[in-house]
């Protein structure tokens, strides 16, 4: 195991960005947990006389059209945004990895039908699909999660399928059969653990994408509704004021969004380096 | 080059194999209509006070009282005859609305794609030829940042910078300045129509409206394209046949362009379908930010107003376009790679 | 006269993340016009690096740190691209292992040959194309005109290598470097490619450097052979001296470990013969295979009507070239795939009636085990050596107690010559030979009576192969195991098996006792196979 640790150490040393991204992601998670008890103002309390103030010492990120403190809103929104993305990714990962692995291993009819299903899913522009799903299921937060999970699903299925497929004829898989493992045992005990590291990369990259998707949906007015603090909806509300120069209403939540996505993406790239230095691109 | 016949066969086969997916889309939109909250008949009734009898009448007219399978058959029949229902918002048939607005969306998407490709390919190639150089690091930084910026934020920032601060961009609403003369409608693409009419003032007006949304969208897909180009070029340049080219004294240019680039473009072609699909999705956001009168903003407005016929039509249209795009990508790939004709 | 190429005390080092690795530590040799020099050695000996250093094709991480490389008297040790590009292809050329990957997959081969011609000559497209045609004819490709527009994937491996040779000699270079040119090709293909190559070399009186791991190949085609080990040239001599009276200890070991027409397993490792308990050949049949057939999809049957029997404790060899169906047969016997037709009877049980998907929980599972070719993929990368060996013990013998598992696993490992401190290592921390031992231990752990070995040593260096073969032979003698030994290497099969079956395209061509079959083959195919194997003769005591 020490060799693995050495390798991780080497990657972090030569690629400090990964470390910074890891710290960033960690601090985001802490903010999501502790945020509401840290912020200086109530994120939903309006204070009309103080409306549309530029950033100042009292209001670090300025105030919005109702005089609410943008900083408090941005911080408090972390929890909702991360929670949506994390639950969506978890859902699609769990379902996609298992289905994809079995498809990749057995091939045949199951593979064919799942492949068809994935094709149908992929025949939509995925963001449009998510919109339609939220519209169909109802304009609620949990439906944003389901919609995001469903549009992520094809990627996990395909990814797990491809990763398992290249391994299914390797010696150690056949050896596992000789050692008395059933097909299901081979998939669950041998193939899945081998595919998981590569999927960890996918999960991290996917988290960023899921955050973007969820924020995009609420930017359009789907899912989360005002006055709930959420980055996408805050940008949407601020959009009205951009042509009159109130940049902070867009820039602050937008920057928070970008920071979160950036952290998870960089973390994903770093994980990829840790797992396989040759895949470094 | 590959012969025409196998290519046509391949295209035909591909079209056939996309039929189940298209059928799936149709079923999905049909179900969408059934599970959407609310009773469509109520929406179509004259007002909130419409009597039960009136609603029942509309229900009968729309065929909603028939069993589900029969409804599905009627639905398929209607789609087959190009009937997608009527939009409540505009009062027009959905097909007419979509046809009017599609050129705006396509003009935006294609311009953005062209912009993105013309930047991403050279950047990716240069970065791959000099790994770990300053250029490479710059390209990688750009790629990393590019995928993190949501289109709706970058679009708004563009507006802030070029419209509010610098004042060099026009008011970010619509395809063309309302005071500029609209060119005669030939293709629906303003840039092409005004160029055909020789009206360069209108061309310029349209172009200056187009540039910000197109840049926003291009920025969004620039990163994945450049990243892919770089990665595949890097992989190809370390492959055996490149070493062969070097070992037999081919010129650097020939090795890079003919042996390297042509092979490296293959994976880039395959992701074009996905990239295009992402762009169709991103269209919704960009059109909203720039009040662009395209199909996506039309569908979004309808969706928010619980007007479902346009949404349905839009989803079908998107799926149709996507199938066409994938077909094109497939044919391009078939032309570029002789190996696939053998399978 | 100055030699064509001189390499004087060349050092090459690679900068890796683990520090600087010295791949070459002072290598010197010379090649004259019209002469063939063989460079032999095992993996990691630096033979390929030598070739790349001469061509100045080392990648970014590697560089020549000291020494001189002279080509036709001119110092090219530090020559840049502008000097080397006109030389490469025109004056010195190279062909590589894995010819299909070495050709551009999406460019017709005629164009690729023309590219080389036009890179060095000022000729028109039409002229280049007609010269390419002549070259294809020169490397004896049939229907050369049609082949001009073929892509590499439409050609066989041997044909691709001939195209590669055509490209390399297109501009009549005076030096050709061939790096493992026939590795991965079937033995008969190897013969035709090598004969073509040497013929061209002689006719044009070119210098050739043949880099190979196969001593027999070097012996047959080279005038002088340099032996390399760990970045050093340990010995250089004409083949008859080298094989007759090797001077260096490493050369002696290498020569001894290479299987020849007459060697026995114990000769390979230079150990005295093991306690000569000849395997008890029981007349009771252990395995009866009759009319076995396997068809994949629409293609021609991979196995068509194969029948044989195997007695208890017997060792049977299955040999054949790629596509002969030998691996498919072994998979069916092990019940990893289902047969299309035919029966397989193991003692009293007709195991062909048990579906492959259900066989894992059948009581006979533990008695039939398979040993895989080791190319670094026969072991689960997430399992330690112990996990790999313990898995069948747990599943097939139902042992759950951890201490008992430990004890049993290290017991088996010890019998396979694997020190128990290696049991907690993961596959990537083990050498090729150690991985092979884990694979064997895993297979014999549940106590099988029939062991199917699928190319168990194909990916190993000869010195490691010798040790592993010796181990397998000893295990068989100790435990009375029956072997089905699948291999493309006829010499190995002759040593390891009492009886041999020769397969071609899924059918049995010839069957008989190994001694007889190898001494007097009855069919032309077997005779051709045997003749194609390059041999060297060990003539003891000439000097």
Q: What is the pLDDT of residues C494-512, one digit of tens each?
A: 989 999 999 998 999 999 9
CB atoms A120 and B172 under 8 Å: no
CA torsion, ordered A145, A150, A154, A156, to nearest 10 deg: 40
What's the predicted TM-score (pTM) here? 0.83
Output the average pLDDT for chain C: 88
Cα separation of C274 and C265, whole Å? 10
- pLDDT digits 0-9 by tens, C307-339: 999 998 899 999 988 888 898 999 999 999 999
pLDDT tier at C541 (50, 70, 90 boundaries)?
very low
The pLDDT of residue C289 is above 70: yes
Candidate from C368, C378, C429 with C-beta closest to A172: C378
pLDDT score recorded for residue A2: 61
Nearest to C103 among B241, B251, B338 (CB): B241
Q: Which of B29, B153, B315 sits opposite A254 (nearest CB)?
A: B153
Parallel, antiparallel or unpaired: strands C62-71 and C207-212 = unpaired
> Residue B166 domain-assigned?
yes
Phi, psi of C276 (to 5 degrees): -70, 70
pLDDT above 50: residue B244 = yes
Separation CA C411–CA A261 (nearest Å)? 53
CA angle A65, A66, A70 (to 5 degrees): 75
How far apart (Å, rounded) are the C-alpha atoms in residues C89 and C93? 5
Indicate the residue among B48, B66, B84 that finishes a domain. B66
Tokens of C176: 């050709």
Q: What is the mean pLDDT of residues C386-393?
A: 93
CATH number at residue A230: 1.10.3720.10
> Which residue in C372, C392, C396 is closest to A171 by CB distance?
C372
Q: Is pLDDT at B285 greater than 80 in this prediction?
A: yes
pLDDT 10s digits, B178-226:
666 777 777 778 888 888 888 888 888 888 888 889 999 998 889 889 9
Q: What's the rounded mean pLDDT across residues B166-174?
A: 79
**In angstroms, rounded to a whole number, what is the distance separating the alpha carbons of residues A35 and A75?**
6
Confidence label for B62 from pLDDT (cuts 50, 70 and 90): low
Which A-chain residues 64-123 have CB contacts (< 8 A) with chain B? 116-117, 119-120, 122-123
Would you state the pLDDT for residue C271? Answer: 67
Domain that holds residue B29: 4-66
Higher model confidence: residue C410 or residue B44? C410
Same domain (yes/no): B38, B179: no
Tokens of C84: 């080397």
- A18: tokens are 């990964």
C269 has pLDDT over 90? no
Looking at the complex, does the CB of residue A193 fall below 8 Å from at least one CB of chain C?
A: yes
Do B179 and B49 share a structural domain? no
* Average pLDDT of every residue of chain B: 82
Residues B195 and B234 in one domain: yes
Q: Copy the structure tokens of residue C109.
A: 């081969």
* A201-239: pLDDT as tens digits: 788 888 888 898 888 888 888 878 778 888 888 888 888
Predicted confidence band at A111 (pLDDT cuts at 50, 70, 90)?
confident
Q: Is residue A120 in some structural domain?
A: yes
Average pLDDT of chain A is 83
Q: Are C55 and C92 in contact (CB under 8 A)?
A: yes
Percentage of residues of chain A with pLDDT beyond 70: 95
Give the DSSP per-residue string, C397-432.
H----HHHHHHHHHHHHHHTT--GGGTT--GGGS-H
- Whether C87 and B243 lie within 8 Å, measured CB to CB: no
Residue with tokens 């001939």: C162
Q: What is the pLDDT of residues B74-117, one digit of tens each?
A: 888 888 887 887 887 788 888 889 998 999 899 999 999 999 99
Domain contains B85: no
% of chain B with per-residue pLDDT over 70: 90
**Long-range own/partner contacts, residues A31-34 (CB < 8 A, 24 or more apart):** A31/A75, A31/A78, A31/A79, A32/A78, A32/A79, A32/A82, A32/A83, A33/A79
Same domain, yes or no: B273 and B182 = yes
Q: Do C167 and B241 touch (CB under 8 A)?
A: no
HEC secondary structure over chain A? CHHHHHHHHHHHHHCHHHHHHHHHHHHHHHHHHHHHHHCCCCCCCCCHHHCCCCCCCCCCCCECCCCCEHHHHHHHHHHHHHHHHHHHHHHHHHHHHHHHHHHHHHCHHHHHHHHHHHHHHHCCCHHHHHHHHHHHHCCCHHHHHHHHHHHHHHHHHHHHHHHHHHHCCCHHHHHHHHCCCCHHHHHHHHHHHHHHHHHHHHHHHHHHHHHHHHHHHHHCCCCCCCCCCCHHHHHHHHHCCHHHCCCHHHHHHHHHHHHHHHHHHHHHHHHHHHHCHHHCC
pLDDT score, position C412: 92
Return the pLDDT at C308.
93
Confidence of residue B1 (pLDDT cuts 50, 70, 90): very low
- Find chain B residues with C-beta within 8 A of A262's C-beta: 144-145, 148
pLDDT on residue A20: 85
pLDDT at residue C276 is higher than 60: no
Whether C72 and C174 have beta carbons less than 8 Å apart is answered as yes
Same domain, yes or no: B57 and B115: no
User: Do B99 and B48 reside in the same domain of the chain?
Assistant: no
- Total structural domains in chain A? 1
Using pLDDT thresholds of 50, 70 and 90, give the confidence band for residue C278. Answer: low
CATH of the domain at B203: 1.10.3720.10
Measured between beta carbons, the chain B residues lying within 8 angstroms of C101 are 239-241
DSSP C26-40: EEEEEE-TT-EEEEE
Shared-domain flag, residues B164 and B21:
no
Kind and range of the H or E element at C256? helix C249-257
Residues B62 and B110 in one domain: no
Is residue A277 in some structural domain? no
Residue A223 near residue A144, CB atoms below 8 Å: yes
Interface of A with B in 188-217 (CB under 8 A): 208, 212, 215-216
Any chains having at least 3 CB pairs less than 8 A from chain C are A, B
d(CA A17, CA A38): 27
In this predicted model, what pLDDT tens digit does every residue of C83-99 receive, in sequence order?
999 999 999 999 998 88
CB-based contact C208:C33 (threshold 8 Å): no
Does residue A28 sit within a domain? no
**CB of C82 within 8 Å of any CB in chain B?**
no
Q: What is the pLDDT of residue A89?
A: 92
Cα(B99)–Cα(A125) distance, rounded to whole angstroms? 19
Residue A162's contacts (CB-CB under 8 Å, 6 or more residues apart) are: A104
- A32 in a domain, yes or no? no
Q: Which of C166, C164, C24 is nearest to C96 (CA)?
A: C164
Same domain, B117 and B15: no
Which residues numbered 162-191 in A keep a CB inside 8 Å of some CB on C?
170-172, 174-183, 185, 190
- The predicted-structure confidence for C122-180, as pLDDT tens digits, reads as follows 999 999 999 999 999 988 888 889 999 999 988 888 899 999 999 999 998 999 999 99
Structural domain harbouring A48: 39-165+191-266
User: Who wins on pLDDT, B324 or A245?
Assistant: B324
Element (H, E) at B207: helix B200-237
Chain A CB contacts of C373 below 8 Å:
171
- Beta strand spans in B28-113 (E): none
Q: CB–CB of B152 and A132 under 8 A?
A: no
Whether A14 maps to a domain, the answer reads no
Helix (H) or strand (E) holding C216: helix C215-221
Residues of chain C above pLDDT 70, percent? 96
Beta-sheet pairing, C507-513 with C349-350: unpaired
A10 pLDDT above the threshold of 80: no
Q: How confident is the model at residue B44 (pLDDT cuts 50, 70, 90)?
A: low
Residue A49 lies in a domain: yes
* Residue C94 forms contact with B (CB below 8 Å): yes
Q: Is the pLDDT of residue B69 over 90?
A: no
pLDDT tens across C413-428, in order? Answer: 999 989 888 898 888 8
- Here the tokens at position B10 are 């391949």
A275 within a domain of the structure (yes/no): no
Does residue B103 share a domain with residue B16? no
The verdict on a CB contact (< 8 Å) between B284 and A235 is no
Residue A31 corresponds to which tokens in the numbers above?
A: 């903010």
Q: What is the pLDDT of residues C397-413, one digit of tens each?
A: 988 899 999 999 999 99
Question: Which tens digits make up the pLDDT trace of A116-151?
Answer: 788 777 767 788 888 888 877 777 888 889 999 988
Q: Residue A173: inside a domain, yes or no?
A: no
Q: Is C387 on the interface with A (CB under 8 A)?
A: no
Dihedral sign from CA coordinates of A146, A152, A153, A154 = positive
> Which of B24, B48, B66 is where one domain is finished?
B66
Name the residue among C223, C256, C251 with its Cα closest to residue C235. Answer: C251
Same domain assignment for residues B140 and B28: no
Name which of B132, B152, B267, B303 to mutate to probe chain A: the one with the most chain A Cβ atoms within 10 A of its Cβ. Answer: B152
Are both B103 and B161 inside the same structural domain?
yes
Q: Is residue B161 part of a domain?
A: yes
Decide: C170 and C89 in contact? Cβ < 8 Å.
Answer: yes
**List of residues 6+ apart from C104 with CB closer than 8 A:** B241, B244, B245, B259, B263, C112, C152
And the tokens for C205? 């009186």
How far is residue A21 CA from its own chain's centroid?
15
**Which of B26, B48, B66 is where one domain is finished?**
B66
Asked if residue C275 has pLDDT above 60, the reply is: no
Question: A62-89, pLDDT tens digit by residue?
Answer: 787 777 888 888 888 888 888 999 999 9
Question: Rounded to an integer, what distance in angstroms lies between the CA atom of residue A248 and that of residue A254?
Answer: 9
**Chain A contact probe: residue of C15, C297, C360 with most A CBs at under 10 A:** C360
Contact between chains at A175 and C361 (C-beta distance less than 8 A): no
| pLDDT for position C25 | 92
Query: What is the residue whose two structure tokens read 């240069």?
Result: B126
């Amino acid at each position: 195991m020490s060799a693995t640790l050495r390798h991780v150490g080497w990657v972090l040393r030569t690629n400090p960005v990964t470390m910074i991204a890891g710290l960033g992601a960690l601090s985001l998670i802490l903010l999501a947990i502790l945020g509401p008890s840290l912020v200086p103002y109530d994120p939903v309390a309006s204070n009309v006389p103080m409306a549309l103030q530029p950033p100042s010492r009292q209001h670090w990120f300025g105030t919005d059209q109702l005089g609410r403190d943008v900083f408090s809103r941005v911080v408090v929104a972390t929890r909702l945004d991360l929670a949506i993305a994390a639950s969506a990714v978890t859902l699609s990962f769990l379902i996609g990895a298992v289905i994809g692995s079995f498809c990749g291993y057995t091939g045949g009819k199951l593979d064919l039908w799942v492949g068809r299903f994935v094709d149908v899913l992929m025949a939509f522009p995925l963001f449009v699909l998510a919109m339609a799903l939220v519209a169909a299921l109802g304009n609620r937060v949990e439906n944003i999660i389901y919609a995001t999970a469903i549009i992520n699903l094809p990627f996990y299925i395909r990814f797990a399928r491809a990763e398992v497929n290249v391994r299914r004829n390797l010696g150690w898989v056949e050896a596992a059969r000789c050692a008395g493992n059933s097909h299901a045992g081979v998939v669950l005990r041998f193939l899945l653990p081998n595919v998981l590291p590569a999927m960890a990369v996918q999960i991290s990259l996917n988290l960023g994408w899921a955050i973007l998707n969820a924020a995009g949906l609420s930017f359009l007015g789907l899912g989360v509704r005002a006055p709930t603090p959420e980055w996408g909806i805050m940008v949407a509300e601020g959009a009205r004021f951009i042509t009159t120069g109130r940049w902070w209403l867009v820039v602050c939540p937008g920057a928070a969004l970008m920071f979160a996505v950036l952290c998870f993406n960089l973390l994903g790239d770093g994980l990829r380096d840790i797992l396989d230095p040759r895949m470094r691109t | 080059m590959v012969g025409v016949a196998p290519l046509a066969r391949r295209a035909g086969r591909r079209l056939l194999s996309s039929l189940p997916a298209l059928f799936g889309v149709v079923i999905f939109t049909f179900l969408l209509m059934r599970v959407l909250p609310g009773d469509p008949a109520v929406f179509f009734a004259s007002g909130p006070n419409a009597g039960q009898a009136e609603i029942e009448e509309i229900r009968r007219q729309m065929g909603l009282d028939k069993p589900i399978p029969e409804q599905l058959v009627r639905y398929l029949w209607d789609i087959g005859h190009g009937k997608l229902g009527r939009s409540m918002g505009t009062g027009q048939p959905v097909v007419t609305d979509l046809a009017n607005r599609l050129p705006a969306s396509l003009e935006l998407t294609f311009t953005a794609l062209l912009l993105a490709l013309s930047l991403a390919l050279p950047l990716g190639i240069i970065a791959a030829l000099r790994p770990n150089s300053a250029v490479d690091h710059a390209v990688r930084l750009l790629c990393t940042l590019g995928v993190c910026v949501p289109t709706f934020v970058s679009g708004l920032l563009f507006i802030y910078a070029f419209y509010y601060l610098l004042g060099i961009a026009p008011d970010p609403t619509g395809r063309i300045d309302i005071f500029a003369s609209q060119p005669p409608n030939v293709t629906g693409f303003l840039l092409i129509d005004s160029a055909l009419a020789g009206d360069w003032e209108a061309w310029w007006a349209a172009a200056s409206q187009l540039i910000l949304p197109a840049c926003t969208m291009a920025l969004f897909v620039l990163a994945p394209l450049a990243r892919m180009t770089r990665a595949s070029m890097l992989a190809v340049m370390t492959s055996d046949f490149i070493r062969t080219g070097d070992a037999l004294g081919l010129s650097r240019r020939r090795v890079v362009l003919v042996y390297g680039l042509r092979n490296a473009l293959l994976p880039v072609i395959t992701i074009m379908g996905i990239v295009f699909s992402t762009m169709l999705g991103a269209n919704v956001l960009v059109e909203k930010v720039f009040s662009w009168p395209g199909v996506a903003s039309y569908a979004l407005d309808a969706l928010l107003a619980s007007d479902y016929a346009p949404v349905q039509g839009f989803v079908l249209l998107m799926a149709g376009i996507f199938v066409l795009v994938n077909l094109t990508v497939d044919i391009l790939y078939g032309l570029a790679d002789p190996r696939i004709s053998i399978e | 006269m100055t030699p064509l190429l001189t390499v004087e005390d060349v050092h090459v080092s690679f900068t890796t993340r683990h520090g600087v690795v010295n791949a070459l530590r002072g290598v010197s040799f010379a090649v004259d016009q019209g002469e063939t020099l063989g460079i032999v050695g095992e993996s990691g000996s630096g033979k390929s690096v030598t070739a790349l250093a001469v061509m100045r094709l080392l990648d970014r991480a590697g560089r020549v740190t000291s020494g001189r490389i002279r080509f036709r008297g001119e110092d090219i040790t530090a020559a840049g691209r502008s000097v080397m590009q006109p030389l490469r292809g025109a004056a010195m050329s190279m062909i590589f292992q894995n010819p299909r990957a070495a050709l551009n997959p999406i460019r017709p081969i005629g164009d690729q040959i023309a590219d080389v011609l036009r890179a060095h000559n000022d000729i028109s497209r039409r002229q280049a194309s007609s010269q390419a045609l002549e070259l294809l004819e020169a490397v004896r490709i049939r229907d050369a005109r049609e082949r001009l527009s073929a892509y590499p994937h439409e050609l066989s491996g041997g044909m691709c290598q001939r195209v590669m040779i055509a490209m390399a000699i297109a501009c009549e270079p005076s030096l050709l470097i061939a790096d493992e040119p026939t590795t991965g090709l079937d033995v008969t293909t190897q013969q035709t490619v090598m004969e073509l190559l040497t013929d061209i070399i002689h006719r044009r009186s070119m210098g050739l450097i043949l880099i190979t791991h196969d001593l027999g190949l070097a012996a047959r085609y080279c005038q002088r052979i340099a032996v390399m080990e760990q970045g050093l040239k340990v010995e250089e001599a004409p083949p008859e001296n080298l094989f007759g009276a090797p001077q260096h200890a490493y050369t002696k070991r290498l020569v001894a470990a290479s299987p020849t027409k007459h060697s026995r397993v114990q000769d390979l490792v230079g150990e005295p013969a093991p306690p000569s308990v000849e395997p008890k050949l029981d007349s009771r049949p252990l395995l009866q295979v009759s009319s076995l057939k396997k068809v994949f999809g629409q293609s021609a049957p991979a196995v068509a009507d194969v029948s044989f029997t195997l007695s208890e404790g017997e060792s049977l060899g299955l040999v054949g070239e790629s596509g002969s169906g030998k691996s498919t047969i072994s998979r069916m016997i092990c019940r990893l795939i289902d047969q299309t037709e035919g029966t397989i009877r193991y003692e009293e049980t007709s195991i062909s009636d048990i579906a492959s998907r259900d066989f894992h929980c059948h009581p006979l599972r533990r008695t039939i085990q398979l040993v895989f070719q080791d190319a670094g993929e026969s072991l689960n990368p997430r399992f330690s050596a112990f996990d790999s060996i313990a898995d069948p013990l747990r599943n097939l013998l139902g042992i759950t107690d951890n201490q008992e598992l430990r004890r049993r696993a290290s017991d088996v490992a010890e019998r396979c010559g694997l020190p128990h401190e290696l049991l907690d290592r993961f596959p990537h921390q083990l050498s090729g030979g150690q991985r092979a031992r884990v694979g064997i231990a895993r297979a014999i752990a549940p106590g099988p009576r029939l062991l199917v070995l699928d190319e168990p040593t194909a990916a190993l260096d000869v010195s490691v192969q010798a040790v592993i073969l010796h181990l397998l032979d000893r295990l068989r003698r100790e435990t009375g195991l029956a072997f089905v030994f699948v291999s493309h290497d006829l010499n190995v099969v002759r040593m390891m098996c009492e009886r041999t079956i020769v397969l071609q395209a899924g059918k049995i061509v010839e069957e008989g006792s190994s001694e007889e079959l190898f001494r007097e083959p009855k069919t032309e195919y077997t005779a051709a196979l045997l003749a194609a194997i390059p041999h060297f003769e060990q003539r003891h005591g000439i000097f």
